[in-house]
Structure 1
Amino acid sequence: MDYSRKVQFKGEGEGIRLLISEDIPMDCLHDAVNTALDKAEKLAIGVPLILDFKMRPLTQKDVVSFLSNVVMKRPLKIKEWRVLDRGGKEVLDRMGFKTQEGQRTYQGKGTLFVQRSLRSGNTIEHDGDVIVLGNVNEGAEIYATGSVCVWGKLCGLAHAGCEGDDDVFIIAGSFEANQVRISDKISYVQPDTFWTGKPVKVYVDQGKIVVSELSG
């Protein structure tokens, strides 16, 4: 079944409201929304976008998975998150996303959400995963015992699994760093590498750091 038909685009002010039906099974959600966005071509790119999940219950894991598998794959400009389910609304508020009732900042036990860009000289150290909803500029550093996800440009240093965990990864919306670190492994990157400026996932495979481009 083509669940992408249950994803609708509606104009709202200067932006677009993306209505995601709660009738879409969770295991089909990413494919449905990605297909709908692909069909819309450039309609939603660069335009203020409201993500409306209607009555769908959302967990923190659901939101992080949606970020990694949908939002990070294209240059979306998320203006607001909406959900009518009370539990889902509380999850979004705790995670620091902008919702209809304002914006909060929250540090979870396992995941740190940074809702700003990091400038040169900024350093983040966290026991768990780190998600940056902005850019990591040159001279900024992130050290995480878990994975690192950068919504925007990664120009600074990201060190995932800094206490020795190989089973983590780094995701960047636009990879522009000259090095990345996972566990005790370091990979130096030439500025003319083919994935420079592209969305990528960095991980360890058979003891070596691997970089793969995220398809749109």
Structure 2
Amino acid sequence: MSTMDRIQMKGNRKGLNLIINLLEFNSFEELIEAVKSKLEPVKNFYSGNAVFVTTYPIRLKEEEKTLLEKLLYDTIALSSVTFEESNRKEDLPSIFDGVEEGLTKFITRSLRGGQMIEFKGNVVVVGDVHIGAEIFAEGNIVILGQLKGRAFAGTSGNEKAFVAALKLTPALMSIAGIFARSAENEPNFPEVAKLVDGNIYVEPYIPTKFEY
């Protein structure tokens, strides 16, 4: 099982939520290494934010919480670390599964720097998303214009979510907690970003070839 399956990472405007299945680790040391690997690519982005750690279906020992908390503070300059526990996976936040056909919010204007959209579904913007603007969506993000701001799709953990734009040049992009930045060269054609084997893969949008 991959690190992505054992540790879910969900970001929103409140901070970062790590959901950890403790039964998938053979030792606490293995858990620590997996958390390090998961946080390293995003440590600069979440600096100054709060982190909520949810563990299931068993509990961490108090000394293990202390060590994990120290790791989090050492890796990211956090404002706070909060631990939550659950005995059942069913009690955890659900993953939005409407990426093929589900709740969708339409924004019929461009988003300026400083503006933010957060939605528990898919988001479609008819316009541009400028630098400094942010979109958090539990489903897909589709920009009928240029994406220059930040786009976070699949924030509840859906790895089938995608980000698409007529010109895909995000300052930062995330799908189900996996992060990437745009290439230096600006495309002159629509592109789609999706997860492939745990990494974000960007390809030209060709209607006859695009596989969801």
TM range (shorter): 0.3 to 0.5
TM-score relative to the length of structure 2: 0.47
